[in-house]
Structure 1
Amino acid sequence: MPTPTKVFQRGVSLIELIVFIVVVSIALLVLVGVYRNATINNADPLIRMRALEAAQSLLDEIIALKYDESTPTGGIPACSTAGAPNCTNAPENNMNDVDDYHNFSDLPYPGAPGYQRSVQVTTANNIKRITVRVTTPTNETFLLTAERANF
Structure 2
Amino acid sequence: MSARRRGRGFTLIELIVFIVVISVGVVGLLSVLGVFVRQSADPLARKQALAIAEAVLEEIAQSGFGYCVATDPNYLSATGTADCTTVDAVGPEAGEVRPYDHVNDYVTAFGTATAFPVSGFPGAAIPGPAGYAASVTMTQTPLNGTLAADSILVSVTVAGGGETVVLDSWRLRHSPNVLP
Alignment TM-score > 0.5, same fold: yes
Q: 1:33 and 1:22, CA in 2 relative to 1: closer, same or farther beyond 3 A?
A: same
1:62 corresponding residue in structure 2:
60
2:34 corresponding residue in structure 1:
36
The 3-state SS of whatever aligns with 1:104 is strand
Structure 1: how far apart are the matches of 2:78 and 2:17?
80
Structure 2: how far apart are the matches of 1:24 and 1:77?
77
> Is residue 158 of structure 2 the alignment partner of residue 137 of structure 1?
no
1:119 corresponding residue in structure 2:
136
2:21 corresponding residue in structure 1:
23
Write the mapping of 1:33-112 to structure 2, written as runs, cut at 5 A: 33-40=31-38, 41-44=40-43, 46-67=44-65, 70-72=68-70, 75-78=75-78, 80-85=80-85, 87-92=87-92, 94-95=96-97, 96=100, 97-102=102-107, 103-107=114-118, 112=129
Aligned residues: percent identity?
28
Structure 2: how far apart are the matches of 1:146 and 1:60?
12
What are structure 1's unaligned runs of at least 5 residues? 1-5
Q: 1:149 and 1:113, CA in 2 relative to 1: closer, same or farther beyond 3 A?
A: same
- Contact preservation (8 Å) 1:68, 1:89: no
The 3-state SS of whatever aligns with 1:134 is strand
TM-score, length basis structure 1: 0.71
Q: 1:79 and 1:52, CA in 2 relative to 1: closer, same or farther beyond 3 A?
A: farther
Give, in angstroms, the shift of residue 145 of structure 1: 1.9
TM-score, length basis structure 2: 0.62
Larger radius of gyration: 1
Structure 2: how far apart are the matches of 1:111 and 1:80?
38
Which structure carries more relative contact order (alpha carbon 8 Å, separation 6+)? Answer: 2
How many residue pairs match? The answer is: 146
